[in-house]
Amino acid sequence: MTHQASPINFHRMSEFITKLKRTHHLNQLTRADAGKKVVLMGWVDTRRDHGGLIFVDLRDREGITQIVFNPQVDAKTHELGGELRTEYCLAIRGEVRPRPDGMANPKLKTGEIEVLVEEFQILNRSKTPPFVLEDEIDVNEETRLKYRYLDLRRGSLKRNIILRSRVSQIVRAYLVDHGFLEIETPFLTKSTPEGARDYLVPSRIHHGHFYALPQSPQLFKQLLMVAGFERYFQIVRCFRDEDLRADRQPEFTQIDIEVSFLSRDDFLDIMEGLIAEVWKKMLDIDISLPIPRLSYDECMERYGLDAPDTRFALELKTVTPIFQNSGFKVFGEIARSGGSIKALVVKGKSDFSRSEIDDLTKFAGIYGAKGLAYIKILENEWQSPIAKFLSDDEKQQLQKTLGFKAGDIVFFGAGTTKIVNDSLGNLREHIGRKLKLCDPKKYNFVWVVDFPLFDWDEEEKRPVAVHHPFTSPKWDELSLLESEPLKCHANAYDLVLNGNEIGGGSLRIHDAGIQQKVFDLLKISKEEAQVKFGFLLEALQYGAPPHGGIAFGLDRLIMLLTGCDNIRDVIAFPKTQKATDPMTEAPSTVDPKQLLELGISVTKK
RNA sequence: GGGGGCGUAGUUCAGCUGGUUAGAACGCCUGCCUGUCACGCAGGAGGUCGCGAGUUCGAAUCUCGUCGCUCCCGCCA
């Protein structure tokens, strides 16, 4: 496997390194540097050994520069250069010179020049990497993660990580400039009910007691407002022990923000300014402000989802009333029993084939839809498995409400409002992708506002907080808390980009009485509230200011900025879908001594 | 918890209606090569077909189980 190699002379190396200081990164040298003596350090990206001449692409964080070993410059150096292999780590000293006529490489930033090696030192040899370190090479995820430090040498991943660093700096600069203080909050904290499963950390000092890693610094940032810091932010790791997805990791990063004394709109203005700043500086794209605001109710009506892709129309329309007295049994019964019937008109697609429609039906089925009725509107007839059940009046009303034309196809979702919105809303985006209706260069931001405060949990027979239990009801709906809490809206908002939720937040309850009332409605007993959130209820009684905030998902933001469709590609050391790390082999068993100290015994599954 | 896809050389894959010695490309090794940048030419090494059972005269190929990677639903804001 490994070829014969002379040993590295460490004595000579230390001499070489102390004598030499790197003069340039590998993206820097141009024609203007011709004639300069330079010292470069980096890794062998590729080598092209011609026997006589050896070309090596030397790579560092910033770029690639071609270096040349020529026997006429130094026979010994050239001979030793023959030993070089991919990923060897090198220091070289040499002279910059323009490449011969016609030999420039326009693909390289430094393609006009090359460096003639006069002297070099192998700083470290490398085993042959388990995969070729080029962007285009597909490699199994497990192998990539096991050798993450090699995968990170590849251009695309490296660029993402560098871009991520820049975004963090832009965010910091903007927020500090707007009077925000960066304040850290604890990672070893208290488990809270509601929300996601916690990652727990056992206490050695208190056997049987556990810290929880924060799902977000929610309560601490509110307490910072009570403390009077007025404007807080933190780029902070959050932990949720739930199943993973392409855009979800068990530990992820939020840009966490909280402010006091600001109206919702004044706050959102500052926040969209932040996003606009990031888009301007990273992509040189001007987002037109203000970002449009869409109420949750209207959003669900038109798009079926709370994070709509507004780059294309193709909106849903409710047609439930048309079927109130329908003889068409399926639709009629759903309409009369409080369900929903919604339609999706796809223009000019009456030529969808049977198998395409089958696929769409299957797709809708993922979200619980029992079927997917459709009507193909042809010149002279409606081609449809359900048309024969519809009365002339119903047909006329459909035509009037939906405004379809010959050549269109109409899909119907019927069932509970939740399933109809979910299946038809996702179908809308599926068809949008299928028909390429969304422009990948377009960035359509929208604030979805006025979420419901509560959702009904059928299993537990109680309301649950849609956002979290500290979200303030709309001020003008406070009375609804008493009468019809499920109809109460929240002072909550999400920022949505092209169908992705990139941030969400709310104004908070700053009154202990209202907070207690909400706990009551959530069926969190006084005792439980006292045990879990006593410190918050207490704090709210010491002149807590009106406050609110937001958290942006930094990982998702970077995904959208880089066009990545997987969160692992924007995190330096991510986990597999089973939440393991093939490199460190975490999670792992631990020494029994550690368990003993913690007072923990492990049971078999 | 449920559904789909994948697992064969270092890597990416082909082979899968069961049947000689399991192939290709890239990578790797050796030799030649003074203008390459996907260098070229010649030669070579490299395989527990994820693992375990079963069916069979015979299994990479069929069946069952199991493990791993991945996408989705549930879960998660």
Measuring CA to CA, how many Å separate A294 from each of A302, A311, A360? 10, 14, 28
Measuring CA to CA, how many Å separate A525 from each of A195, A267, A530, A565? 17, 33, 8, 43
Q: Give pLDDT < 70 ranges for chain A.
A: 1-7, 10-14, 16-17, 193, 605
**Cα gap A58→A123, rounded to integer Å:** 13
pLDDT at A1: 37
H-run or E-run covering A89: strand A89-98
Q: Is the CB of A581 under 7 A from strand B?
A: no
Q: What is the dihedral of CA A514, A517, A522, A526, to 10 degrees?
A: 120
Nucleotide nearest to A468 (CA to C1'): B77
pLDDT at A524: 87
User: Which amino acid, one-letter code, is at A371?
Assistant: G
| Cα-to-chain-centroid distance, residue A602 | 35
Q: Is the CB of A586 under 7 A from strand B?
A: no
Q: Strand B: which residues 122-151 of A lie within 7 A (CB)?
A: 128, 130-132, 137-143, 145
pLDDT at A605: 60
pLDDT at A137: 83
Q: Which residues have CB under 8 Å from A567's CB, separation 6+? A: A246, A247, A248, A249, A252, A555, A556, A559, A574
Nucleotide nearest to A50 (CA to C1'): B33
CB A501 within 8 A of CB A494: yes
CA angle A181, A186, A188 (to 5 degrees): 170
What secondary structure letter does DSSP report for A587? Answer: S
The full 3-state SS of A355-407, as one line of letters, equals HHHHHHHHHHHHCCCCCCEEEEECCCCEECCCHHHCCHHHHHHHHHHHCCCCC
Q: Whats the size of chain A, residue-wise?
A: 605
Q: Is the CB of A393 under 7 A from strand B?
A: no
**Span CA (A577) to C1' (B45), Å:** 37
Burial string for A38-48 (b: 16+ CB within 10 Å, else e) reads: bbbbbbbbebe
Q: Which nucleotides of B are covered by protein (CB under 7 A)?
A: 1, 10-13, 26-30, 32-40, 68-77
Nucleotide nearest to A501 (CA to C1'): B77
The ipTM is: 0.93
Closest CA to A501 of A296, A348, A359, A231: A296
Closest CA to A201 of A188, A214, A192: A188
Q: Strand B: which residues 518-537 of A lie within 7 A (CB)?
A: none
Q: Which residues have CB under 8 Å from A477's CB, separation 6+? A: A487, A488, A489
pLDDT per position as a tens digit, A37-66:
999 999 999 999 999 999 999 999 999 999
pLDDT at A11: 65
**Cα gap A251→A238, rounded to integer Å:** 6
pLDDT at A254: 97
User: Which amino acid, one-letter code, is at A313?
Assistant: A
Residue that has been written with the tokens 């190699």 in this structure = A5
CB A321 within 8 A of CB A297: no
For the entire predicted model, the pTM comes to 0.94
| Cα-to-chain-centroid distance, residue A188 | 25
Q: What share of chain A is helix, strand, coil (3-state, %, to 5)?
A: 35, 25, 45
**Span CA (A141) to C1' (B49), Å:** 20
Q: Is the CB of A244 under 7 A from strand B?
A: yes
Nucleotide nearest to A3 (CA to C1'): B29
- Strand spans (E) along A185-315: 200-202, 210-212, 231-239, 251-260, 293-295
Half-sphere exposure of A102 (CA within 13 A, CB side): 0
Q: Strand B: which residues 324-353 of A lie within 7 A (CB)?
A: none
pLDDT at A7: 64
Half-sphere exposure of A7 (CA within 13 A, CB side): 4
pLDDT at A457: 82
Task: Mark residue A218 as left, alpha or beta (left: phi above 0; alpha: psi -120 to 50; beta: remaining).
Answer: alpha
Burial string for A359-378 (b: 16+ CB within 10 Å, else e) reads: ebbebbeebebeebbbbbbe
At residue A430, the 3 state secondary structure works out as helix
